[in-house]
């Protein structure tokens, strides 16, 4: 298994169409964007729903993507939010 290190990268990009906020988060295991991975299902936050609502209110778009690394147990999640000028 390759070396796993926890990193979160945050980027703010000035694109031709506006701005993009990109968060890249290392993870282990498969990712299901529709279901929490927390052990205590009652104690998780509402963060994803709140982010979706704010993006929609400002006519932005949000994209979530999971990519596996060479080692099948390791990958990273990228969340990109685009706002037009």
Cα three-residue angle 37-42-45, rounded to 5 degrees: 70
How many structural domains does the chain have? 1
More confident residue, 41 or 49: 49
Residue 3 counted as domain residue: no
C-alpha pair distances (Å), 38 with each of 26, 32, 41, 53: 16, 12, 6, 22
Residue 42 counted as domain residue: yes
- What DSSP character marks residue 41? G
Confidence of residue 44 (pLDDT cuts 50, 70, 90): low
- C-alpha 1/C-alpha 70 separation (Å) is 9
Q: Note the pLDDT of residue 19.
A: 92
Residue 39 counted as domain residue: yes
Residue 62 counted as domain residue: yes
């Amino acid at each position: 298994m390759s070396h796993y290190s926890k990193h979160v990268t945050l980027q703010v990009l000035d694109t031709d169409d506006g701005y993009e906020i990109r968060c890249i988060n290392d993870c282990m295991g498969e990712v299901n964007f529709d279901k929490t991975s927390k052990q205590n299902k009652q104690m998780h936050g509402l963060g994803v729903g709140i982010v979706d609502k704010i993006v929609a209110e400002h006519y932005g778009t949000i994209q979530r993507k999971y990519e596996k690394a060479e080692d099948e147990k390791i990958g990273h999640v990228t969340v990109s939010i685009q706002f037009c000028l």
